Amino acid sequence: MDAHGMGIASTRACRTNLPLRFFGVAALPFAASATLTIIGCTAMASMGELPMPGGWTLSMAWMPMCGQAWPDVVAAFLGMWLAMMVAMMLPSLLPVLWRCHAAIDRSGHSPAGRLIALMGAAYFTVWLVLGTGVLALGALLATVVMQWPALARAVPIAGAAVVLAAGALQFTGWKARHLAGCRATPVIAPRLATSWRHGLRLGLHCSCSCVGPMAILLVGGIMDLRMMAIATMVITIERLAPDGRRAARTIGTAFAMAGLLMMTHAAWPG
């Protein structure tokens, strides 16, 4: 075989091994984030929860521990939140990132890995900003229910209403539009700024699409590993199923049924 033929063979072999390298590298942050999430949730569970009027418990994630300052609470929560989001979102994000990587690689631009890494960083930056809002809302609600026992007693019914609303949201055009944005493969020009913008846009679509499952996660327990696993499964099915809209509606029906059961239990706990 001449040098030209050997070069072509080498290129083909490189391209054949590319998916293995891509998903192998992606497995590292997933494994690290999953491990950190399990460790963090286990540590939080060991701290216990605060019993509240109405027969429910308040997670200690929303309030400072003894002697802990609020900046430390924010830093700890956002670190845990980012680990959770990487573990939950990466399984459904990877196929999109891979398709973008393959398209850039076929175009002959060499820094495909750098562009995709930047796109992923922008994507999770959106989730990190969202986590700041989640913490603020959770801390506010925790303060309110601790000061107003009458409102604390209404939390189980309010939680059921949130699950019902999450189910209804799955049938809306708003959900369908953002889910389509999550599933689409953006065309990335070989520029860092373009990759960053596409990552932000994808993160906005996906965070909007995940409002329902994430709301249910917050209601069911943000540090509950079982709830995280369910939310991850739901989000992954929606994004990877052949018919995403049908999958979203099927999931919405399940959410609505769960919300009705929760509402019944909250209204007639006996």
- For residue 4, pLDDT beyond 70: no
Number of domains observed in the structure of the chain: 1
For position 17, what pLDDT does the model report? Answer: 60
Nearest alpha-carbon partner for 214 in 97, 200, 206, 42: 206
Burial class (CB in 10 A: 0-12, 13-18, 19+), 243: exposed
Range of the domain at 85: 3-267
pLDDT tens per residue, range 216-226: 999 988 888 99
Decide the pairing of beta strands 56-59 and 49-52: antiparallel
What are the φ and ψ backbone dihedral angles of 171, each rounded to 5 degrees? -100, 0
Q: For the chain, how big is the Rg over CA atoms in Å?
A: 22
Per-residue pLDDT reduced to its tens digit, 72-99: 889 989 999 999 999 999 999 999 998 8
